Amino acid sequence: MKMKIVVVVPYLKSFGGASRYAWELSEYLATQGDDVVITSLYTDKTTYSSDTELKIIDFGDEKNLTQSL
């Protein structure tokens, strides 16, 4: 059964902690054939990139990140 999953993470800027866990879980689920979307305020695309069909949606950008937190 193919699931549609949304993972909400405050931001993906550094690779560690809860952000890393959410990213690795999302990648795993995407490799299993599920539709996975990660939503965050800002994602550093150089740190977080994927060969899977994982979708990333940013609601802000780096310049307004501190105001959002």
How much is the pLDDT for 3? 94
The answer, yes or no, to whether residue 68 has pLDDT greater than 60, is no
pLDDT tens, residue by residue, 8-41: 988 787 778 888 899 899 999 999 999 999 998 8
CB 7 within 8 A of CB 22: yes
How much is the pLDDT for 69? 56
Q: What are phi and psi of 27, to 5 degrees?
A: -60, -40
How much is the pLDDT for 6? 96
pLDDT tens, residue by residue, 40-60: 888 887 777 778 888 988 887
